[in-house]
Chain A
């Protein structure tokens, strides 16, 4: 039942946006309120997972929620709720036409639905379908206002991600193929627990090939270099709310898919094949992201590269055994909170400065003090400074690297993180200080819109000092999943 409560609100919201024409603010509000229900359901699922129960529901065990799913559900639904409360169309702003708003609300809810579906289904074939669907739906939201840049970004986005995700399907088919080759056709073969149980009997040589396709495929979606190229474009041209969702949780959902498969492939191969690949790609990602940040000229792209950087980190974490996975999942939560907030704030900044160029934003502290302070706090969190949660998760991650015997790789990682750190802080300072151009008005508007950001900061702060027991047992549950 919880699954219905989780999934139906967003479908209902999409339906509402579809049937009510023209768009009315009430639709936006009711969608936002509906998203709270999903969030509640996610918390309920998490409660079960913490208690050690694995929820399974639906025909043919269609839905299943272990700790891993529960964690992602909470992240996705939380960020989704924030997004919907901050979405355009809830106030009386005339920035968008009714048609655009209707389209926005329709597709963003479908997008949220497909992400939630991806993390709650049992069948990893359907998971693939859901993730593919996220591309389609989110692509529809990117060019909310038509411009050369937004069209270009969305074309690249849909093209590259569709190709990538298609390759992931090749991997999925190969995995299924191997199952079938050994034990004949079975309707539930792609149910994750079934596949995992059977995994030790699968053929290593086939699973290796399959994993490459999956890695490339889901890696494209997650923003692993060098398949990350769509990411800065899409993030910089989307509405801030969509960027927040994409960067905060979509990347995590893709990593989730990869992790599911990694567990299966590890059960088959048993050696460090997947770990080596993930480490290599993770470090490459980190390298490219860190150095891309050095010369970034656009703050939304900067945030996007930062997401790439964190994807790299998470990817490395996944390769570092159970404690690394623990750290990576911790990091996913922190990153979701920080990055979604940053994109929301970037929306506010864009609204005031009418430019996403770093050079155009000066004296943010004078122009929008509250936004600036939150933005600075978020950036400090993103670069891994205390007292924010990312400091803790990065510490845990590097510790995992040392414990699992990769001191040199961790050294490289720390160097790259330092490069990213310096780059981001320089950009941040150039935004915060200096003299704004005269025509920029000062003062904050829509003060209530800062409330969700304050909540994000609070979450980050709490996670920086304190790991609630329930959260910890959730993470431990995930770490236990990857321990054979």
Chain B
């Protein structure tokens, strides 16, 4: 059964690649790529679900391929299966959506062959990353995934900014790969085959310094893919540039594989570590969450905004995982399980609502041809379904119950609160600070999504394009609808899913029973030792009941139900135009003032006065820009330094043959002297 799923998945993705290459453009090509991707995604989903449900790993090895280091070895255990399910869940709606969404690119002159083939390969490599069972297989699939997604990002390669975004992306991802290579090779020690089983055995024999070095390399390497601060710089560049169904997959699924890798290393290969590992993850998670949302607030490019929210949510996931790892190092397995399961569940939830939001943003982009929120507005009337779905996504990401964002954030909160049980006060004090940052983050996220939804979909259209927006195709709506449904389902039914996550975790050393017993199947989510419990399902039912009852009761009491359409009341203004509306920038202005210390916006005011008198102003111009500190303090100096070195090195090649010969002579004499007294 499992191997049937596996082969269907692999062959479907393979066939998708070939189909795209052969058919090229046209509806047939798009639909066949999409349906094969759906088939493959479904098979992946089936495979993952089967492994999770039966608890038996699926493995398959091709020793002839990659003979350099152990062959192409694949093994899907619970952890990998969870992420494979994630891939399936992301792939199906995205592919469905993409079937018609990509039609527009055909006219744009982008290579449909490339796009279809890379899309299929992207899914395939992601799926195989979760299955990789030795170092080389992992690295190959990992880099394959990066490369294919890079090509998807640069689909609209005729645009200058797309190319530059692609450059950032591939550079960051390559740096990540280098770090991972280091981590893996350190872990391999003298072993050359690098099977994960051997690495597990090897890990215990390493010194704690080496283990920590491996952890740091892996954390930074996977973190660059996941988008932790300050390695996230590629996200707000690449996500907007990519076609939206790809952004959905990248943000919803691909960056999660960074989380997968981190867990694979820390939980599985290294088998846990000192408390500061978890602490570091927690700290970086908290910073990513808060700064992610803060920068998102200041964006008025819809997709960039969503990209920054991915940084935020990765931060939240890492808060859970970090806390879990800290508990693990103190042997508090129930709390550890809670934290990690919370992180995993948020991973799943983020995959649904962020994919949904990106697909929604894509629909808006499709309809208005702009990503600038300042040119949108009023779309709720033009595209009601998209608006509804986007609203559900916005509420879910703002952790509003009974949607899924709430359920997982609740678990993360609960695990952080459990921190007071840590015996060392110096360590446990980290937790409440993290709680505070997480609380602030979710408050700000809500503000941000009021802005995102309100400015985009509500009020009057702010531009001609927005006025002419149109409903998107049925396949796009279906894709979004499926994800919206998932947001609701995962929000109401965490108690069905969380025990499965516990099962996954139970496979790792130390968790065992703790993970199982903490989350038995019931209607309420209960944190360990009943520190807190909620039942999103009942609250959801309750809300529906109340919402139904209120009008009913009002009817009973014979309330006036007449309704009249009138002009907007505006203090006696004559007419209402779009220019009077609040803009995205003005919406965020109060928060920008509050957090001015962090944003440090540049201000530039130019006043042109009339020639006759300086009291008469001809024109005023105000520019204010927020350059994130990490770009100013980290990346710009780094790039400047590299450029400086490059300029110095360039001077070596000055053009004079005499100089060149002098190099030869000098090096020769130097080495001769060294050799003479070696």
Contact = CB atoms under 8 A, between A and B. Distances in A.
- State if A and B touch, Cβ cutoff 8 Å: yes
A328 interface: no
A226 B174 contact: no
Nearest to B673: A212
A57 interface: no
A288 B652 contact: yes
Contacts of A391: 140, 143
A417 B178 contact: yes
Contacts of B154: 429
Interface stretch (B281-289, B305-313, B336-344, B660-668): B660-668
B176 to A, nearest CB: 10
A432 B157 CA distance: 9
Contacts of A273: 675, 678
Nearest to B66: A465
Interface string B374-394: 000000000000000000000
Interface in B62-76: 64-69, 72
B166 A429 contact: yes
Interface string B163-179: 10011001100110010
A155 B659 CA distance: 14
28 contacts: A159-B661, A160-B657, A164-B664, A167-B664, A208-B678, A213-B668, A215-B671, A216-B668, A227-B667, A291-B645, A291-B646, A292-B650, A323-B192, A365-B157, A386-B140, A387-B144, A391-B143, A392-B66, A395-B136, A402-B189, A403-B190, A407-B182, A410-B185, A417-B178, A422-B170, A429-B166, A433-B163, A435-B158
A473 to B, nearest CB: 11
Given A213-B672, A229-B663, A291-B645, 15 more contacts: A212-B671, A229-B652, A295-B646, A385-B143, A391-B140, A403-B190, A418-B178, A422-B167, A425-B170, A425-B171, A429-B154, A433-B157, A434-B160, A435-B158, A466-B66
Interface in A151-168: 155-156, 159-160, 163-164, 167
A411 B163 CA distance: 29
Contact of B664 (A220, A323, A396): A220
A429 B167 contact: yes
Residue in A396, A399, A419, A432 with the greatest tally of chain B CB atoms within 10 Å: A399
Contacts of A466: 64-67
B139 interface: yes
A414 interface: yes
A95 interface: no
Kindly list the 6 A-B residue pairs having the minimum CB-CB distance in the complex, ordered from nearest.
A294-B646, A291-B649, A229-B660, A402-B185, A414-B178, A208-B675
B238 to A, nearest CB: 14
A7 B678 CA distance: 42
A39 B71 CA distance: 31
Contact of B663 (A226, A295, A434): A226
Contact of B181 (A227, A292, A395, A435): A395
A399 B68 CA distance: 11
Interface string A374-399: 00000010000111000110011011
Contacts of B72: 465
A209 B647 contact: no
Contacts of A99: none
B68 A392 contact: yes
A387 B65 CA distance: 12
Contacts of B188: 399, 402-403
B167 A426 contact: yes
A398 B181 contact: yes
Interface in B115-153: 136, 139-140, 143-144, 147
Contacts of B66: 392, 465-466
Interface in A208-238: 208-209, 211-213, 215-216, 220, 226-227, 229-230, 232
Interface in B41-92: 64-69, 72
Question: Which of B66, B72, B678 neighbours the largest number of chain A CB atoms within 10 Å of its CB?
Answer: B678
Contacts of A407: 182, 185-186
Interface string A408-433: 00110011011101100110011011
Contacts of B659: 229
Nearest to B676: A209
Interface string A449-476: 0000000000000000111000010000
Interface string B616-654: 000000000000000000000000001101111110110
A212 B158 contact: no
| A209, A227, A402, A415 — most chain B CB neighbours (10 Å) | A402
Given A216-B664, A407-B182, A386 B652 contact: no
A226 B652 contact: yes
A277 interface: yes
Residue in B136, B147, B664 whose Cβ sees the most chain A Cβ within 10 Å: B664
Interface in A32-51: none
A340 to B, nearest CB: 23
Contacts of A395: 68-69, 136, 139, 181
Contacts of A415: 178
A323 B69 CA distance: 12
B460 to A, nearest CB: 38
B67 A229 contact: no
Nearest to B653: A229
Contacts of B147: 380, 385-386
B65 to A, nearest CB: 5
A399 B157 CA distance: 35
B186 to A, nearest CB: 6
A219 to B, nearest CB: 9
A465 B653 CA distance: 38
